Amino acid sequence: MRFYIVFFIAILLDQVSKIWVRLHLPTGDSLEIWTGILHFTHYENSGAASSMFQGYGRLFVPVAILAVVFVLYFRRKGHLNRWLLDVGAALFAGGAIGNAIDRVLFNQVTDFIVFQSSNGIMNVADLVLNLAILLLGLDQLLKYWRNRRTRYYHKI
């Protein structure tokens, strides 16, 4: 159940934030959120990360669907049975679907989050995808440490 709750919350937060930006911030305009750290700039990206492949955004829809199918398959097989794996997979699937919805409906993705320390512009789905990768990596690191500790104590 946790997987589906996280999955739908990720999609909901992404879509609601994009709708708010489309309704309240004209394309190209900026809004200061946290002085010197974060601002919103409305940008419509018809490509992928860093505006690569402009005009080919819809080609990433099948990739997103395939990624979600793989996540659901691995969940069903019981391979995503740890808490961090489950939440990370849900965030990954939710972020992928969040951007896929934009690509299907508008042939582009609404980006608006700009951190002063980076050169890119993102949206909530992108942030969720990054968080998912961090959680999945952390899970693997913790698994490695647990296995290493278990092997060490079995030798004693």
Q: Is 122 helix (H, G, I), strand (E, B) or coil?
A: strand
- In the structure encoding, which two tokens stand for residue 100, read together? 């896929």
What token pair was written down for 50? 């860093």
Quote the tokens at residue 27: 């394309």
Of the listed 14, 86, 102, 111, which one is catalytic?
Answer: 111
How far apart, in Å, are the Cα atoms of 100 and each of 49, 62, 83?
Answer: 13, 9, 26
102 assigned to active site: no
Tokens standing for residue 55: 């005009």
Amino acid symbol at 113: I
Sheet architecture: strand order including 30-34: 30-34, 38-45, 109-115
Chain centroid to Cα 60, Å, comes to 14
CA dihedral 150, 79, 130, 66 (to 10 degrees): 160
Choosing from 14, 102, 126, 139, the catalytic residue is 126
Active site amino acids: 111, 126
